[in-house]
Amino acid sequence: MTTLFVAKESRDGETRCAATPETVGRYVKRGFKVLVQAGAGEAANYRDADFSDSGAEIISDFATGCTQTDLVLKVARPTVEEAGLMKKGSLVVSFLQAVQDPESAKALFGAGVGSFAMELVPRTTLAQKMDALSSQANIAGYKAVLLAACELGRYFPLLMTAAGTVKPARVVIFGVGVAGLQAIATAKRLGAIVEATDIRPEVKEQVESLGGKFIEVKSDEDGEEASVYAKEASDDYKKRQAEAVTASVAAANVVITTAQVPGKRAPMLVPDSMIAQMQNGAVIVDLAVEQGGNVEGSEVGKIVVRHGVHIVGTPNLPATVPQHATDLYARNVQHVVDHIVPKKENDDLELRLDMEDEIIAGSIAFLNGDVRHAPTAEALNLEVAKS
């Protein structure tokens, strides 16, 4: 197996690419033959000629690429139509997110195609270079603040002018993961007063280190081991959180919600009753809108106005910063390829899916006609492989 195929994304709004001329050059140096579908990098400002100069062969269509390789690199999961064109037994490295689009995931499974799901990569030290969720969430947190600033009808920073003083905007952020931390940092750079809340009390120091104020809520379990993963909170915790943040939200000009639970619907954090208490003209950006939303009434791809509050439901924010999102994602994918096609003394390039390997075992959703990931099996109403 010496050939890689970099597919052009076909889903509406997906501007990213799974490779860059830089990563193509690294693949070629290792001995891979790299096929790139024509136009794959255009939306990210990479021309076909840039890939050719790095050693890739440009091919015209998806079907042709799939016939020449067993390893396909993408950003978004293949569509139903694309799954039907892929070779049985081949492997696609991409986001899968079966909960969001079970039809496409089932089509991939039904075609006998394996899936290395980028969102399933364990967040461990060894896998850090492959962690596309983090690299893309960083961009989403940054862009969420810019969207809010554009939608908000006032300044973010404190300004003292001859015409009078402008008070700084107040921003509240739900969720202090990668996206939340970047949102805090970006809002502070724009001059806002920032508060944040999270189910994990241990993130307080991170919030304060960025100049934000942490809204403290007693956690469900004192002394619980810290985790980088989002999790579902208890109903009692959600009630306590709502009580603690209501005053801050009511005074806020901007609210950004980032809470998502892998494999499940996003938790509802900002109900209609809370929105009704916000200032007229305030803005909410719901980063979880594609997963069901953290905000009551948010809609994918729309700006909804409720009680005078503008609720922004722009999906796939990393794709709105396509060049850097592509650069980072492509490097994540390259490290995945290096891991599943490891270097050998004889320079043979063989796909090695060792299910005893923590990263591989945790990231494979489908393989050889079996579902290997329990939450994916549950989402698709399929049985998980027993071994």
The three state secondary structure string of the chain is: CCEEEECCCCCCCCCCCCCCHHHHHHHHHHCCEEEEECCCCHHHCCCHHHHHHCCCEEECCHHHHHHCCCEEECCCCCCHHHHHHCCCCCEEEECCCCCCCHHHHHHHHHCCCEEEEHHHCCCCCCCHHHCHHHHHHHHHHHHHHHHHHHHCCCCCCCEEECCEEECCCEEEEECCCHHHHHHHHHHHHCCCEEEEECCCHHHHHHHHHCCCEECCCCCCCCCCCCCCCCCCCCHHHHHHHHHHHHHHHHHCCEEEECCCCCCCCCCCCECHHHHCCCCCCCEEEECCHHHCCCECCCCCCCEEEECCEEEECCCCHHHHCHHHHHHHHHHHHHHHHHHHCCCCCCCCCCCCCCCCCHHHHHHEEEECCEECCHHHHHHHCCCECCC
Selected catalytic residue, list 10, 68, 100, 134 = 134
- 260 an active-site residue? no
Q: Catalytic residue among 11, 30, 123, 154, which?
A: 123
Question: Is 348 tagged catalytic?
Answer: no
In whole angstroms, what is the distance from residue 95 CA to residue 291 CA?
14
What pairing do the DSSP bridges indicate for beta strands 303-306 and 309-312? antiparallel
From 100, 128, 279, 323, active-site residue:
128
In contact, 185 and 209? CB cutoff 8 Å: no
- Tokens (6 digits) for 209: 């280190």
Q: Which of 70, 131, 198, 286 is catalytic?
A: 131
Give yes or no: 128 in active site. yes
Active site residue 123: yes
Respond yes or no: is residue 229 known to be catalytic: yes
Q: Which of 60, 229, 236, 348 is catalytic?
A: 229
Contact call for residues 22 and 43 (beta carbons, < 8 A): no
Give the other-Cβ count within 10 Å of 167's Cβ.
12
Q: How far apart are CA 290 and CA 279, in angstroms?
A: 26
Q: Which of the residues are catalytic? A: 123, 128, 131, 134, 229
